[in-house]
Amino acid sequence: MKKLMTLTALGTLLVYSDALASGFNLKEQSAAAMGNAFAGATAGAEDISYSFFNPAGLTRHGGTKVSFSGTWIAPRSKAKRAIAHIPGEPGEEISGYTGDIVHAAVAPNFYASHQINSKWTAGVSLNVPYGMVTKYNDDWAGRFHGTLSKVTTVTLTPMLAYRPYCKLSLGAGLQLQYIKARLRNSTLVKNPATGGIIPGVEDRASLEGDTFDIGYTLGALYEYSDQTRFGIGYRSQVKHKLKGDIKFEGLMLPANQDISARITTPANLTIGAYHDINDKWSVMAEFGRTYWSSFDTLDIYGENNGKMSTTEERWKDTTFYAIGASYQYNDQWKFRVGFAVDQSAVGQEYRTPRIPDSDRLWYSSGIEYKYNDDWTFNLGYTYIRADKGKVKLLGYHDGDNARGSLQADYENDIHILGFGASYNF
């Protein structure tokens, strides 16, 4: 009984930790594009880092080029007025730590491209498209829902772009994606004789797992004129089968066990436009759609027990809108600004403390400095202001008998600073 209860709880943690990585999808794959809040990222192709959003843009870059950057992401998330009820004991209320639960991290990326001939260009990128850490004190009110979530991803993408005629370019690539997750939560101990909870006795359970799987990316770029271009990009869903194990610590330890779970990261569709008004001013816009509805349920399978649990997801597809402008001050300096609206994929009835996400507004700016014909540097800054989020888990979902109910209010915002450098051989 104890083992089943614990594994059911970990099933919920697993799905939301991966959703955390996807829900906190790291758009920050280009310091230059960040300056415009990623407006026009699918059509801009201003340097080869834009190939993350549209591989077809590689045809605009001759010779051999490399680009690398690092993005410092500093989120702030505070939980307030957290109240929970112990599973199986609805009359007993608990509360605890409600301070800052997220941590800053650096996300690097690298790009390289080589023009094979006038029609073909090859490229490769190395990115961290998902990743975040949330950590609560072990005694906080929602400890049965989670105390630690750590997710890291690395994606290698070889790409090939083709220009069939002067105005049109097509691109494609493979997403070779690796994900590693570490999760922890508290669990209650049940008396095997009576089935009731043993008062004051808690164990902790930890899950670690990883997986490597493959997806693809496609893109097209249409250059209507020297001043105007349009782009469309598509990054496929990646179906993962995460494998790992669960370990326990406490007074009444069940046997450790290998587990597996199928997780699908969602597909993304982006459409962008870019226009040079004159030799100084440029404007751009972006529309993005992320197909979160692929997250509906998650099944956890144990090595010894078969299907251990089913967890409800109920994510919804989301939309991203962005507009931006750039000003070319002189041959060396360019200034960028941008604004974006980013929807949350989950409402309060399914939002968990592992991903206290909410609708967000992006305010971005950037500077580009062209040192010489070979070196170009970019600096981008974004402030993301998120709506106040509410967790309202009332204990009605599948598996809630192992976690209980939880209600909490969250205040979130994020500061992001990106630096990039590009070199032409």
Q: Which residue has the higher pLDDT, 174 or 9?
A: 174
Element (H, E) at 81: strand 64-85
What's the total number of domains in the chain? 1
Residue 262 is part of which domain span?
2-424
Beta carbons within 8 Å of 333's beta carbon, 6+ residues apart: 367, 368, 369, 370
pLDDT at res. 305 = 65
Q: What is the mean pLDDT of residues 367-394?
A: 93
Residue 168 has pLDDT above 70, yes or no: yes
- Token digits of residue 27: 């758009």
Distance CA 273, CA 321 (A): 12
> pLDDT band at 388, cuts 50/70/90?
confident
Q: Is 211 in contact with 17 (CB distance < 8 Å)?
A: no
pLDDT tens per residue, range 98-147: 677 887 888 899 999 999 999 999 999 999 988 778 888 888 888 888 88
Dump the DSSP string for 188-214. Answer: EEE-TTT--EEEEEEEEEEEEEEEEEE
Dump the DSSP string for 225-237. Answer: SSSEEEEEEEE--
pLDDT at res. 422 = 97
Dump the DSSP string for 347-387. Answer: -TTT--TT-----EEEEEEEEEEE-SSSEEEEEEEEEEEEP
For 401, the 3-state DSSP assignment is: helix
Dump the DSSP string for 273-309. Answer: EEEESSSSEEEEEEEEEE-GGG-SEEEEEETTTEEEE
Q: Which residue has the higher pLDDT, 270 or 410?
A: 270
Give the CATH number for residue 20: 2.40.160.60
DSSP 70: E
pLDDT tens per residue, range 17-73: 333 333 568 888 999 999 999 999 999 989 999 999 999 999 999 999 999 999 999
- The burial class, CB within 10 Å (0-12 / 13-18 / 19+), for 271 is middle
| In the chain, % of residues over pLDDT 90 | 49
For residue 22, CA distances in Å to 39, 263, 366, 416 come to 20, 11, 25, 18
Beta carbons within 8 Å of 232's beta carbon, 6+ residues apart: 42, 54, 219, 220, 269, 270, 271, 272
Mean per-residue pLDDT of the chain? 85
Distance CA 126, CA 112 (A): 9
Bridge partners, 70 (sequence order):
108, 419
Dump the DSSP string for 328-343. Answer: E-SSSEEEEEEEEEE-
Distance CA 220, CA 42 (A): 9
Residue 91 has pLDDT above 80, yes or no: no
Distance CA 311, CA 270 (A): 30
Distance CA 80, CA 84 (A): 12
Residue 14 has pLDDT above 80, yes or no: no
Distance CA 350, CA 49 (A): 35
pLDDT at res. 170 = 98
pLDDT at res. 11 = 38
For residue 27, CA distances in Å to 127, 308, 362 come to 10, 34, 12
| In the chain, % of residues over pLDDT 70 | 88
User: For residue 120, how many other CB atoms are within 10 A of its CB?
Assistant: 14
331 dihedral zone (left: phi>0; alpha: psi -120 to 50; beta) = alpha
Residue 317 has pLDDT above 50, yes or no: yes
Most confident of 32-36, 75-79, 294-298: 32-36
> pLDDT band at 298, cuts 50/70/90?
confident
Q: What is the mean pLDDT of residues 82-104?
A: 72
pLDDT at res. 252 = 59
Lowest mean pLDDT among 112-126, 270-284, 403-417: 403-417
Most confident of 113-122, 137-146, 175-184, 384-393: 113-122
Residue 10 has pLDDT above 70, yes or no: no
> pLDDT band at 92, cuts 50/70/90?
low
